[in-house]
């Protein structure tokens, strides 16, 4: 795997998922020169977008073990940068976490490869009735990017403050974030103003057994069923109404939360994502052996 690792990057979770699936993984960062690597040691190369750090640079990409994959985490807001990286990495397959409408613009075949839940961190089966926090949110509130999110949280405060326990402030990560979700009945999700894309909160909140109340993003329906695994709203007013409804009917909320929990841990963990990736690697190996 070639990426500049941080504690929070999805690349880190995929790397752990591959290890859980039994794959031996070497992680390379900075500048990767394939002329200096023992080529017979590797069956595939996976580049991972990690925009919080400078991208991995390559030398002698023509000597890279094949197949080569490039997992892209951002859509239109980083398309130019990722298209340039795609030219450098020359992948056999581009993996898109979302934004499948951009697929035809990449110079390689594209597969849907969404985020997931790191199940060793984001896992809690505590019943909703035993959770002390009624409504929770953690994440960015940057002005001009998440104005709708800010408006939603303000509407929630106005509607529920004083009657329910709210935890709607600040950025939390990893175990602290999982602890918040595991103590919360409802986790609120809201995508960015202009780029409505599938995010990690969706899987992490459901993975922690909370009822996730979310807006909809393209491709989300391929992963989760509204009303069965999560609750979907189409406006701020509707979100407030649905939150109030489910807080007053916790048995029904529990049914959805439990179904979502089972579904995510069965189908949308990084170990499962790793299994899909390993299957693609085997498919590519068979194709190459048959040439």
Between these two residues, 32 and 144, which has the higher pLDDT value?
32
Task: Give the CA distances from residue 280 to residues 43, 82, 105, 283, in Å, rounded to whole numbers and listed in that order.
Answer: 11, 22, 22, 5
Residue boundaries of the structural domains of the chain: 10-116+269-289, 128-267
Alpha-carbon gap, residue 216 to 222, rounded angstroms = 11
- Could you read off the pLDDT of 103-154 as tens digits, one per residue? 999 999 999 999 999 999 999 999 999 999 999 999 999 988 999 999 999 9
**Fold classified for 128-267:** Rossmann fold (3.40.50)
Given pLDDT bands bounded at 50, 70 and 90, which one contains residue 50?
confident
Q: What is the CA radius of gyration of the chain?
A: 20
- The mean per-residue pLDDT over the stretch 268-288 comes to 93
- Identify whether the C-beta of residue 190 lies closer than 8 Å to the C-beta of residue 209: no
Contacts of 26 (CB under 8 A, 6+ apart): 1, 41, 42
Given pLDDT bands bounded at 50, 70 and 90, which one contains residue 291?
low
Element (H, E) at 284: helix 270-289
Given pLDDT bands bounded at 50, 70 and 90, which one contains residue 169?
confident
Whether the predicted pLDDT of 155 surpasses 80: yes
Contacts of 32 (CB under 8 A, 6+ apart): 2, 56, 57, 58, 59
- The mean per-residue pLDDT over the stretch 258-268 comes to 98
Going by the DSSP 8-state scheme, the letter that residue 269 receives in this structure is B
- Could you read off the pLDDT of 70-84 as tens digits, one per residue? 999 999 999 999 999
Going by the DSSP 8-state scheme, the letter that residue 213 receives in this structure is E
Give me the pLDDT at residue 57, please: 96
Whether the predicted pLDDT of 24 surpasses 80: yes
């Amino acid at each position: 795997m070639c990426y500049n690792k941080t504690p929070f990057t999805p690349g880190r979770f995929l790397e752990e998922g591959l290890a859980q699936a039994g794959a031996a993984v070497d992680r390379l960062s900075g500048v990767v020169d394939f002329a200096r690597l023992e080529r017979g040691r590797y069956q595939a190369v996976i580049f991972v977008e990690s925009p919080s750090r400078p991208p991995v640079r390559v030398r002698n990409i023509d000597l890279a073990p094949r197949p080569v994959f490039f997992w892209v985490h951002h859509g239109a807001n980083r398309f130019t940068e990722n298209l340039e990286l795609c030219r450098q990495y020359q992948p056999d397959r581009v993996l898109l976490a979302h934004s499948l409408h951009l697929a035809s613009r990449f110079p390689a075949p594209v597969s849907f490869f969404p985020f997931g839940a790191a199940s060793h961190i984001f896992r809690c089966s505590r019943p909703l009735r035993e959770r002390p926090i009624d409504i929770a949110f953690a994440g960015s509130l940057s002005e001009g990017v998440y104005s709708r999110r800010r408006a939603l949280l303000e509407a929630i405060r106005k509607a529920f403050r004083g009657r329910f326990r709210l935890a709607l402030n600040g950025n939390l990560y990893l175990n602290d974030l999982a602890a918040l979700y595991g103590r919360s009945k409802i986790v609120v999700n809201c995508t960015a103003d202009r780029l409505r894309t599938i995010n990690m909160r969706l899987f992490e909140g459901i993975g922690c057994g909370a009822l996730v109340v979310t807006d909809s993003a393209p491709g989300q329906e391929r992963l989760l069923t509204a009303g069965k695994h999560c609750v979907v709203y189409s406006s701020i007013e509707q979100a407030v109404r649905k939150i109030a409804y489910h807080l007053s009917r916790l048995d029904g909320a529990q049914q959805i939360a439990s179904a979502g929990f089972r579904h995510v841990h069965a189908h949308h963990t990084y170990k499962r994502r790793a299994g899909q990736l390993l299957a693609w690697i085997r498919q590519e190996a068979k194709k190459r052996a048959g040439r």
